[in-house]
Amino acid sequence: MELLTWVSSAEALHAAVAAGADAVRVGHRDYSLTGLGQEELKKAAVWCRVRGVRLSVAMDLPLPGKSFRAALDAALDLARAGVSSFCVGDPGFLRALRLLLPELPLEASERLGISDAAGLKLIEALGARKLLLPPQLSREEILHVTSHTRLGTEAVVCGRVCPALGPCRLSAFAGEGPGCSRECREKYLCLGRSAEVRPALKSILLPGAPSDWEALGLGTLSLRCESQRPECAALAADIFRRALSEGKVPSARDLQLLTKNFFPEGESDALYRGKAAEALLPAQVEWHWPNLARSGLLGSLRSEYAGEEFQRVKVTFTAEVKRGNFSRVVATDPEGRSAGATGPIPQKAGSGKREVTPAFLRSQLLNTLGTPFLCTEVRTDVEPGLSLSGADVGQMRREALGRLMEKRSELPEVRVGELPPLLKAEKRREAPDVTFSVRKAAQLSEALAALKPKVLYIPLEELLREGQAVTPFWENGTTAVCAVLPRRYPAGEARELFLCLKKLKELHVSEVMAESWNTLLPAGMLGFRLRCGLGLQVWNDWSLRVLRELGAASAILSPELRLSEISEISKCIDTELFAYGRLPLLASEAPLSAPGNREDTLRDRRGRQYPVGEENGRSILYSPDKLFLGDRLRDLEDLGLWCLHLSFTTENAGECVSVAERYLGMGNYLPNFRIKGLYYENETHSRFRFPAKKGASGNAGQL
């Protein structure tokens, strides 16, 4: 079983490798939240390859048009430098990278939210060879996934994890701009229970035995230390490496040392046990970082990994000592690379000169401390009666290993494929139409149906429960009714989902919207017309190409794109722009509302109120302000869009009609709390400025 450590600096990478990690994953600074630059990654690739360590580079942020080509060029450059694999979070980028580098292993990031067999088949078809399991999965769900795939699987056993299932927009739209400002770790007041909460999760810590992890069918154990000091990466790798090698549960003392000093906010295995409510980060207690420098822990950890080498590359030595010839030592690694060194001609033994023996050569050649090599076998060819000093043997050993390191650092040959041309589509000249989405059937009315939207999106459970509410939309002769599928469903609910889809057929509903990659294939297999929601994070031409090949008819573009970027996208399928409504910022497995409440509200430290909705037992946190573009409709006419998507969440039936009329040029509705989002360059997306938090990434926005 492989032990992988996430790191975000060169020092942390060296610390994890010195402590025994088999693989490290580090983000690309331009295409991940944290990590190293291009040249630093190329140096790290060579350093790791010499030591037999797999280097995975995370390029898991969604990529808009101009960044997409630059990311492909960067990945090709890194592949030629010897990077072992890439961790990808954009399905379009995953597909393009597979075509460009057909032999390089690719890993599907947990940001894709793959959690069932249907999603597994999809990412396997796109070219992934390993799946990073979302940390929100329980033990039963992990077993279901690993038993239904040939892909390698990786699960987090230690470290901080994001509470979001799929995309998280909390920092982008309610925090301090692009990047992750850890807005979820701030205190929120839950109005339904008059208590402070945090929509963040405790750190994950699975203290099971290696046999338990193997029983789950996992190929890689992941330690999330990318936001921590290098000493954390060293300590975590050392603890779990010893647990794997000894086949024992990590000791309570080791785990306490790790959590007390590096995860003081608390840790839990509640998600693994299926008790998501217990995994929420407590808000009642303030924690303080301990003074590690005075305790001496940092210094002792640093002294252990600084300058140390973990011996993981097995080598075989062959030594020849023959009369009248130069002595010779050859080192061979497991891949068959060989490097040798010659020494002096051996002298005749006697007159105080010690005779060289096979045992003497073995004792000298086995001493590979301070190098990444571990001698497992020594073969000797020694003529009797000859003498050779230990210093000469040691010098030959060092020279042979040095030359072997040079050979292992040679750049590998990389087969490069060709990318097919993008699917071009003729740009739409007519103004976009509108589509409506509602959360509740009570928001529907005959007046709303009379406005004749292209599509009405309604949650699957609402459509099955209140099917008669959509009758006026059937009768207007224009609107297609589309059922919105759940974002995620556990393995045990897959059969229930199929039964619900069959009931839709009986109601003559022929269109469904997928909010995750898990539901695309089941809906397509049953012959539904596929439409794609915000959960699929469509950022670029290649993502649209993937969706077209999967049979999708339309997709909502990511609201984090600029209008200039949207205009440049080649729209090979119909595209929608999120033009009105509260954006879903975060979907959490843990309940954010008060017990027994389906609807609730969280209030942050600035007084903004975030509506919390429920979807199949999971909480959805919505933006405090409504995105409103009704006064800038002319800006949207030349973008080549099919429709403007109007999302109704907390509005009543009358408000829904007023909003729709404004977008159709028939009214003057204007919401009190509104934002323009991120669509416009050089415009803040919120209403007033607030100071940036210390250490936060990104710029301070306006509320």
The confidence score (pLDDT) of residue 703 equals: 24
Question: Residue 98's domain is classified under what CATH number?
Answer: 3.20.20.70
Asked whether residue 404 falls in the same domain as residue 475, the answer is no
Whether residue 96 sits in one domain with residue 243: yes
Within-domain flag for 171: no
What total number of domains does the chain contain? 3
Give the position of tokens 């002769």: 477
Query: Are 403 and 439 in the same domain?
Result: no
Asked if residue 444 and residue 403 are part of one domain, the reply reads no
Judge whether 593 lies within some domain: no
Distance CA 687, CA 171 (A): 15
336 and 228 belong to one structural domain: no
Q: Is residue 703 part of a domain?
A: no
Among 22-26, 98-102, 463-467, whose mean pLDDT is lowest? Answer: 463-467
* Residues 15 and 57 occupy one common structural domain: yes
- 371 and 493 share one domain: no
- The position carrying tokens 């309610």 is 174
Domain contains 142: yes
Q: What is the pTM of this model?
A: 0.89
10 Å Cβ neighbour count for 390?
14
CB 229 within 8 A of CB 214: no
* Higher-confidence position of 62 and 307: 62
Q: How far apart are CA 157 and CA 72, in angstroms?
A: 31
Residue 664's contacts (CB-CB under 8 Å, 6 or more residues apart) are 434, 451
Residue 289: predicted pLDDT? 56
Res. 684 pLDDT band, cuts 50 70 90: very low
Least confident stretch, 265-269, 326-330, 388-392? 265-269
> Contact at 8 Å (CB) between 113 and 488?
yes
Token pair recorded at residue 34: 């944290």
Provide the pLDDT for residue 28. Answer: 94
Q: What is the CATH number of the domain that holds 645?
A: 3.20.20.380
pLDDT at 702 over 50: no
Per-residue pLDDT, 325:
87
Lowest mean pLDDT across 31-40, 92-101, 185-194, 694-703: 694-703
Looking at the structure, tell me whether residues 31 and 70 fall in a common domain: yes
Question: Which stretch of 50-64, 285-299, 524-538 has the lowest confidence by average pLDDT?
Answer: 285-299
pLDDT of residue 388: 86
pLDDT band at 101 (very low <50, low <70, confident <90, very high): very high
Does residue 451 share a domain with residue 336? Answer: no
pLDDT: is 441 or 500 the higher one?
441
pLDDT tens column, 209-258: 788 888 888 899 999 988 888 889 999 999 999 998 888 888 888 888 88
Q: Where are the beta strands (DSSP E) in 99-211?
A: 106-108, 130-132, 152-159, 188-190, 195-197, 203-205
319 backbone dihedrals φ, ψ, rounded to 5°: -120, 135
Range of the domain at 522: 433-582+635-671
Domain boundary among 234, 249, 264: 249
The percent of residues in the chain predicted with pLDDT above 90, rounded, is 42
The Cα 537–Cα 558 span in angstroms is 5
CA distance 330 to 341: 7
How many other CB atoms are there within 10 angstroms of residue 648's CB atom? 24
576 shares a domain with 476: yes
Inside any domain, residue 414: no
- Residue 396 CA to chain centroid, in angstroms? 46
Please state the rounded mean pLDDT for residues 575-600. Answer: 86
Where among 193, 221, 249 does a domain terminate? 249
Cβ burial of 155 (10 Å; 0-12, 13-18, 19+) is buried
At 36 the pLDDT is 92
Q: Are residues 404 and 437 in the same domain?
A: no
